[in-house]
Structure 1
Amino acid sequence: MKKLILTAAALSVSAGMAMAQDVTRLGTEGAYPPWNFINDSGEVDGFERELGDELCTRAGLTCEWVTNDWDSIIPNLVSGNYDVIIAGMSITDERKEVIDFTQNYTQPDPSAYLAASEDADLEGGVVAAQAGTIQAAFVAEQGWSLLEFATPEETIAAVRSGEADAVLADKSYLVPVAEEDAGLMLLEREELIGGGVGLGLRKSDTALKETLDAAIQSMKDDGSLNALIEKWEIGETF
């Protein structure tokens, strides 16, 4: 109980500081279900849409959603096109050299391989990954042949066409693809990369970071974050 009271107090104080901003712009990719995607109404949807809206409510922020291609999502945060990245972005030391992160709002999600055959050759073949992701960095570190694409859909298409032997991506993204396409399958091998997913912010926005950290913590404390994780089948709960 004491922890909950302290968290609520911190959230109230930090929310007051954050409300000095008229609008907080949330930047996402809109192309990575179930994390974020564009629904039939043309609106941002998914786990992070629900999460972002709830965090803004708890923090007393007026928020609006902005979509941005993945390969320029960090530069456009730094240049001021939006204020927060909420796009399934794993917390890594390399990214922390450029931007800041809140505490994680998901556990590290296992990365899985999707292939057309269960005996796909990872070490001697070609592995596709979305450019600028922890998966692309992992494949490169192994010394394997890496084929990078701007969007996750293109990585899947490369496996279907035979251009790549497998794709490495978040398991939560690949599971529905494997379930819907009988010609593709998940390999048994998985990788655990990164330190979980957090909100990305400019290093100068310390008050906003504190506000959002408190909102995330309040969702962890009351169980609502775990409920969202289970609803969208993102991965392990806290």
Structure 2
Amino acid sequence: MSEVIITVRGEHELRIAPERATLHLSVALDGPDRADVVERALAVAAPVREGITAREQQGSITEWTSQRLSVYADRPWNTEGKRLAPVYRASVEFTATFADISEMSVWVTELSVIEGVTVGHVDWHLTPETEREVEREVATQAVGVAVSRARAYAEALGLTNVAPLEIADRGLISEGSAPMPKAAAMRGSAMMMEAAPAMEFQGEEITVSATVEGRFSAS
């Protein structure tokens, strides 16, 4: 039998527990007097910022951001269709990335009782070092799957010699497929559960997957 070209696809994925959690929260207050609203918002935002910097110094927070105070006015309508007096709203947005998830749970419990503080969503992710290692591992395993499939096809045809011709990311060999990265990390979402005495955050496992395509000659 003459040389046969075999084209196969290999996939592999790993599920990894998240190592970091980025918490999104905001301080927002409103009222009829602009100066009073600004003063109260700054008074609430100050201890929040201090709590973040203190935890950064302790090592439980690896990085954080804070936006400038935002102030805007809105004139609502009453039930009779008349514009009411302006209502002012002042807000400050924060993000904080925690390496210590238990400390984040404790801090969120403290924040939840403060008027004007809203705890938003949590982004779960891996450290850059772990992400690189896992991506390398799943890519290597995906190539191994492709090689195994090529050999299985060759053996089914009674061929024994299999040599690689091309290995590429998915879509770069097969026509009509959209290219995609060899490894994609899917961040987990936050699931918050109330418990005594603190709120506990449990992140979904992060799925890191890889898909490759390979073209082999068999004889």
TM-score normalised per structure 1:
0.24
Larger radius of gyration: 2
Of structures 1 and 2, the one scoring higher in RCO (CA 8 A, sep 6+) is 2
Q: Which has the higher helix share?
A: 1
